Amino acid sequence: MVRLGLHVSVAGGVDRAVSRAREKGCDAFQIFSSNPRKWYTNPIPSESAKRFIDEQRQLGIALAVDHMPYLPNLASANDGIYAKSVQSLAKELERCQVLGIPYLVTHLGSHVGEGRESGIARISGALQAVFSETNSDTILLLENSAGSKNSMGSTFSDIAAILASQPTDHHRLGVCLDTCHLHAAGYDIRTSSSLEATLDQFDDCIGLKRLKLIHLNDCKGAIGSHLDRHEHICLGQIGEAGFRAVLCHPVLAGLPMILETPVDSRRDDRGNLKVARNCSVRVKD
């Protein structure tokens, strides 16, 4: 069975996310461990961390994923922003360790006009600094981007270069592929054959063993549009055939998948989970 889940709120305490995930029918879930729009984070109370871990076991939810806040930019050329971003990443890895969370997803940021090589060098330096000062068991997952102006990580070669820059800490790094971002960046996953071709590229460039998590989202924009606009499952440009291909793929179906879809009058979170689960059922010939 495919493990499907949602991004859920930690309002009122991080431990409350677990019951919210169960109420929505999640097999896995993703959180921001604190306010994603602030640099400062309060320490996680030990009682809350214990409840977070215990409730996952009691409610039968096998996996929790954390996501980095919005403000950090690991590719920034601004020394002040860069230093705060490195510190934020280190603290978030420590918070994951407290919560027993195996994966932390991070965006790779923007080089802000300084160029790809500068961006890769800054990200590489940030990872080296963080790994040297933290001892977390949590694996940091580099998320692909849609390829908007100056953004890092929209190509497999970008991600491969960053991974290659960390030879001594390779076991602490993995990849999260976002389906909306893939499509927007120009990687075709709309059919079984095009998905296979894209995964072949990924395997050749990065290696499928690095892929640990899928962000499952449809895309409002055309392929290669670089438009990072998430859409309800099967209602965007990737479409039903694409999601059936992803959800029934022999490798991808074994990975946890987190939906980051809109909530509006057309469909809520439960509705998107239902559609995704229906797509995961193989159609007999």
Catalytic residues, which ones? 37, 67, 70, 107, 143, 178, 181, 215, 228, 230, 260
What are the structure tokens assigned to 71, written together? 């403000």
Q: Is residue 230 within 8 Å of 220, Cβ to Cβ?
A: yes
Strands 4-7 vs 103-106: parallel, antiparallel or unpaired: unpaired
| Beta strand pairing call for 4-7 and 218-219 | unpaired
- Dist CA 268 CA 280 (whole Å): 19
Q: How far is residue 263 from each of residues 230, 231, 259, 278, measured CA to CA in Å?
A: 11, 10, 11, 19
CA distances to 47, 92, 221, 224 from 200, in Å: 45, 32, 24, 19
Beta bridge partners of 143: 176
